[in-house]
Chains A and B, each alone.
Chain A
């Protein structure tokens, strides 16, 4: 009886040895408490197509942006499907810190100079204490600096200026799908009597990632009190983002050729239904200007 007991004890110990050896060593040590994890890369770029996206530039990163908009495609071969008429915006965005971006740009149309400050109030995060959406605030200004050819009157600085204010609320629903809403107010100092100084619009932007580097994007602004119904239309742009290394190419079709908020929200008159669609592209190239301080190199 006693031998049997001792034998069973030894067998039990031996079995335990075997079991423990196969056990995951890390299980007792790994930190399994859920941590707050910020969500990144909801969009591949800081713009959806025309409007600002909920993405910010990293600290110390400079984004060189070249935008091209061509003429309507339905003009046919004589205008090379609109490619003969090109307008361009050259801009620079800079990440001051990870939640603050500043940018300036100049558009050939109306010689529009624009600038903005973009501040991320809340970043979407998973885990305890995380918000389900990102909230980003943008305030910008644009000045139409075209030369006044009419010598009988002067155009003051005030008359040339316009401002916009935007609150972007966006969520990366999954690795593939992001959606954001941006209520916007555009204020123009001087407008024709039939127009309102304050224009309210709601932007809707979304992206659907097709592969690691290619995404389908759509950018729409519903203008609540824009130009009279038979003249003004809502800007809608649809296209693809292609990302390679530090470049993001956005190729799209749109009914607007405006490249800043004031231009595309208050100045769109083309209709998708009539085929007044223009091809355009955005080219974004990011550079690291400031490296992370305190990074100790080993190699």
Chain B
């Protein structure tokens, strides 16, 4: 009886510890920017889902491609239908880890820069990506920011010759997220 209760208590304690270690958001902002001779294109998605595990430094993002908003309706249509084929590949995701999570003091206010590396899956293709992330802690609340560039061709997103001066070969991606504790 005692053994069983002890085991149960250990399991519960284990689960409780993990929830407290995680922070998340469903309103992360992911933007991308393409700068080309004839046109600059940018899009914003304000509904990215992200989770950080403060104990292990694991960091994950997931975003719905159809949630990217463009200035021109046509750009949004072509983006979904021809470039990222969002009916086939509805989400893009990132699964990675902070290089050294102990450098980030989640309980002390401040700004911490730490390299994050992991796998970015976009248009059905997965590639290794590394970027510097800035984790800011203010009043106990954690927010993250990072910028990195990707080569469009790496993810088998083909740009037809006719529009090569309107769409850049490398695109800059900016991420901003304000996290809250998991209850």
Enumerate chain A interface residues (CB-CB to B < 8 A). Answer: 5, 8-9, 12-13, 16-17, 20-21, 24-26, 28-31, 37, 40-41, 58-61, 95, 98, 175, 212-213, 243-246, 286, 288, 291-292, 295-299
Contact = CB atoms under 8 A, between A and B. Distances in A.
Contacts of A298: 31, 33, 42, 44, 174
- The majority secondary structure among interface residues of chain B is mixed
B7 A9 contact: yes
Given A5-B6, A13-B14, A213-B82, A26 B51 contact: yes
Interface of B: 3, 6-7, 10-11, 13-15, 18, 22, 24, 26, 31, 33, 35, 40, 42, 44, 49-53, 56, 58, 60, 62, 66, 69-75, 77-78, 80-82, 85, 87-88, 93, 95, 160, 162-163, 166, 172, 174, 182
Contacts of B42: 297-299
A20 B35 CA distance: 41
Given A212-B85, A298-B42, A245 B26 contact: no
Nearest to A15: B14
Contacts of B71: 291-292, 295, 297
A16 B11 contact: yes
Contacts of B11: 12, 16
A130 to B, nearest CB: 14
A212 B87 CA distance: 12
Contacts of A13: 10, 13-14
Contacts of A59: 73
Most chain B CB within a 10 A radius of its CB, from A20, A58, A243: A20
Contact of A244 (B10, B70, B162): B162
Contacts of A95: 73
Contact of B74 (A25, A29, A61): A61
A297 B35 CA distance: 13
Nearest to B93: A26
Contacts of B18: 20
A17 B14 contact: yes
A31 B26 CA distance: 9
- Pairs of residues from A and B, 10 with the lowest C-beta to C-beta distance, nearest first: A58-B73, A25-B51, A288-B72, A299-B33, A245-B163, A16-B14, A25-B60, A295-B71, A9-B10, A29-B24
Nearest to A39: B87
Contact of B162 (A5, A60, A245, A297): A245
A17 B56 CA distance: 10
Contacts of B66: 37
Contacts of B95: 25
A176 B7 CA distance: 55
Contacts of B88: 175
A29 B18 CA distance: 14
B6 A9 contact: yes
Given A58-B77, A246-B74, A298-B44, 19 more contacts: A9-B6, A20-B18, A25-B52, A25-B58, A26-B49, A26-B93, A30-B62, A40-B77, A98-B73, A212-B85, A244-B163, A245-B78, A245-B163, A291-B72, A295-B69, A298-B31, A298-B33, A298-B174, A299-B35
7 contacts: A9-B10, A12-B11, A16-B15, A41-B81, A291-B71, A298-B31, A299-B40
